[in-house]
Structure 1
Amino acid sequence: MIVTAQHAVLVQGITGRQGQYWTERMEECGTRVVAGASPGRAGREVHGVPVYDTAADAAAAHDLDATVLFVPPARAKDAVVDAAEAGIRTIVCLAEHIPSHDVMEMLAVARECGSVVVGPNTAGLVVPGQSSVGIMPGFAPNIFRPGRIGVVSRSGSLGTLVCMNLVTAGFGQSAFIGVGGDPILGTTTADAVRALVAHPATEAIVIVGEIGGSMEEDAAEVITGLGVPTVAFIAGRSAPPDRRMGHAGAIVTGDRGSADTKVAALRGAGVAVVDIPSEIGTALRGLGVGPHAAVAAGG
């Protein structure tokens, strides 16, 4: 699910306003956008990128590694199914407010086809200096710089803040994975941690979590015994129970999903949990992870 400059990317919904705008921004980051898909718009070009009616048509003309969906919630299921059945292995689904039954169906089809869905309600993926797939500001050097810290976040805005704090503290990122903030997701925090651990450029991991669900507790089980320096920040620690805060998945129910249970699980796995994002750099140094010379020098 880590998309680099070598991977070929499709943009579904490329002819819409957001699709056009973010295609240009993604290309500025080095993303190799080779095709777009918008029903009824075949034969057009957007920023020099050829447009096809469907992902299947685009896949017949290009070897595609990933796709990003700039489509409304009502069309998301069909777009994901189209991409999965076309053999595209990484599918980045940005839309939120997709009906739950649509999400369950599209994730089931993706699994059957061997595809990984990132999202729904994700801000996307970034490999600084190489690519950005989605709506993260991968083009901003004060937020993303090449480095060795892998970042996984449920929130795009909090992920942006944490990445900016990392750069300010002298660190850079090996990759950013936005898993999304909905209750039903194709990629979990634990999945993202596994991907970052397997990524050779990653020296340490930062988890940006929030209340609700059990993803951070599940990730703690994966982290235990890995020996990878890991820092976490959990948002919503002062939120009252049974009240949704921000994302649809940010609601505490039952005996899991609270800030306290997440913090306890992560600390039990050897993770340094900070109270505010600006403490992440100090926590990384405390784990023996030094700043990255190129970033610290402003390179």
Structure 2
Amino acid sequence: MTILVDQNTRVICQGITGRAGTHYSSVMLEYGTRVVGGVRPGKGGSHHLNLPVFDTVATAMTETGANASMVFVPPDRAANAMIEAIEAEMPLVVALTERVPVRDMMRVRDALKHGSTILVGPNSQGILAPGVCKIGVMATGNARRGNVGILSRSASLTSEVIAQLSDAGLGQSTTVGIGGDAIHGLSMRACFELFLADPDTHGVIAIGEIGGTDEEELAEIIAAAKPKIPVVALIVGQYAPAERRMGHAGAIAGNAGADAKSKIRALSEAGVIIAESPHLVGETMHRALTVAA
């Protein structure tokens, strides 16, 4: 099994006629993802990439049976696009847009409280179930089908870890980029709970960084659930200076508990295996799965 997506996922692209929307929709179609249409206000009734284009998400859902949307809308309009999909009761929304204003994301977060939509992102690399479904911008050359779930705040580190796992003979069940912004949808904790409910995920890798409380909340659920599958974590930013943003909008250690050492301590105390270096994540999971077997 997979989480969030499967072979029945039908995707529309909000912003399909833009450069990024066009490119990545094409790549996803080539991968085998069932992209069934797009949304661009004012262009309803036209076609793009041989797919129908609609003025609204609600119309696209009615006409295509779409159950997932990806957002490739510029930052100043991305929140409105997410909210439109939430209000249309789209089950899954994956927001790839970077630099969405924090104030706008507060509106999105409020909209999520009144619906059942699962939002992944923004500033996410997307979701990948190798050989099944890809929604996002990630490379797929090193990915292979398997039983290790990955939840991550970092796109580049996710690619590195996937390559390490595949080299070690370990495939991935699903890879989820929750996004690197301070305010985002699906949390590490909620994503981990989905992996726990998946019988085909035999181990989970969590890739975290400084800033926010996602890793601490993940530690809490792991300590409470005492999962039987191994959990490996990589937390980067141990030498990052305080009060300085490091790459991602949410990667800033500006308050107690937001630094890397505090996150590592919380996860370690919860029973998580800490990878000592980014290049050792695959090896660490391989060893953990061997011991668990």
Q: Does TM-score exceed 0.5, indicating one fold?
A: yes
Q: 1:280: Cα distance to partner? A: 1.7
Instruction: Determine whether 1:260 maps to 2:257.
Output: no
Partner residue in 1 for 2:69: 67
Q: Tell me, what secondary structure is at the counterpart of 2:26?
A: helix
The whole-number CA distance in structure 1 between the counterparts of 2:29 and 2:200 is: 22
The whole-number CA distance in structure 1 between the counterparts of 2:98 and 2:31 is: 24
Partner residue in 2 for 1:25: 27
The answer as to whether partners of 1:80 and 1:110 remain within 8 angstroms in 2 is no
Q: 1:26: Cα distance to partner? A: 1.0
Structure 1 residues without counterparts, runs of 5 or longer: 291-299
Partner residue in 2 for 1:176: 175
Q: Tell me, what secondary structure is at the counterpart of 2:32?
A: coil
Partner residue in 2 for 1:155: 154
**Cα deviation code 1:108-136 (max 9, x no counterpart):** 11331211111111111000001110111
Q: Pairwise CA RMSD of aligned residues?
A: 1.4
Q: Tell me, what secondary structure is at the counterpart of 1:114?
A: coil
| Counterpart residue identity of residue 158, structure 2 | G
Instruction: Determine whether 1:246 maps to 2:241.
Output: no
Q: Tell me, what secondary structure is at the counterpart of 1:208?
A: strand
**Cα deviation code 1:205-239 (max 9, x no counterpart):** 00111111111111011112122201111111111
Partner residue in 2 for 1:294: none
C-alpha distance 149-289 of structure 1, shift in aligned 2 (>3 A): farther
Q: Tell me, what secondary structure is at the counterpart of 1:113?
A: coil
Aligned pairs for 1:131-150 within 5 A: 131-138=133-140, 140=141, 142=142, 144-150=143-149
**Cα deviation code 1:28-59 (max 9, x no counterpart):** 22211111101111122222211111111101
| Counterpart residue identity of residue 210, structure 2 | I
Q: 1:260: Cα distance to partner? A: 0.9
Q: 1:289: Cα distance to partner? A: 3.9
Q: 1:199: Cα distance to partner? A: 2.1
Q: 1:278: Cα distance to partner? A: 2.3
Instruction: Determine whether 1:95 maps to 2:94.
Output: no
Structure 2 residues without counterparts, runs of 5 or longer: none
The whole-number CA distance in structure 2 between the counterparts of 1:218 and 1:113 is: 23
| Counterpart residue identity of residue 190, structure 2 | D
The answer as to whether partners of 2:91 and 2:118 remain within 8 angstroms in 1 is yes
The answer as to whether partners of 1:4 and 1:31 remain within 8 angstroms in 2 is no
The whole-number CA distance in structure 1 between the counterparts of 2:255 and 2:86 is: 35
| Counterpart residue identity of residue 285, structure 1 | H
Q: Tell me, what secondary structure is at the counterpart of 2:218?
A: helix
The whole-number CA distance in structure 1 between the counterparts of 2:12 and 2:230 is: 34
The whole-number CA distance in structure 1 between the counterparts of 2:174 and 2:31 is: 13
The whole-number CA distance in structure 2 between the counterparts of 1:58 and 1:272 is: 44
Aligned pairs for 1:1-299 within 5 A: 2-138=4-140, 140=141, 142=142, 144-224=143-223, 225-289=226-290
Q: 1:3: Cα distance to partner? A: 1.2
Q: 1:241: Cα distance to partner? A: 1.5
Q: Normalising to structure 2: TM-score of the pair?
A: 0.94
The answer as to whether partners of 1:56 and 1:86 remain within 8 angstroms in 2 is yes
Q: 1:146: Cα distance to partner? A: 0.4
The answer as to whether partners of 1:5 and 1:30 remain within 8 angstroms in 2 is no
Q: Tell me, what secondary structure is at the counterpart of 1:82?
A: helix
The whole-number CA distance in structure 1 between the counterparts of 2:243 and 2:101 is: 21
Partner residue in 2 for 1:297: none
Q: How many residues were matched structurally? A: 287
Q: 1:269: Cα distance to partner? A: 1.3
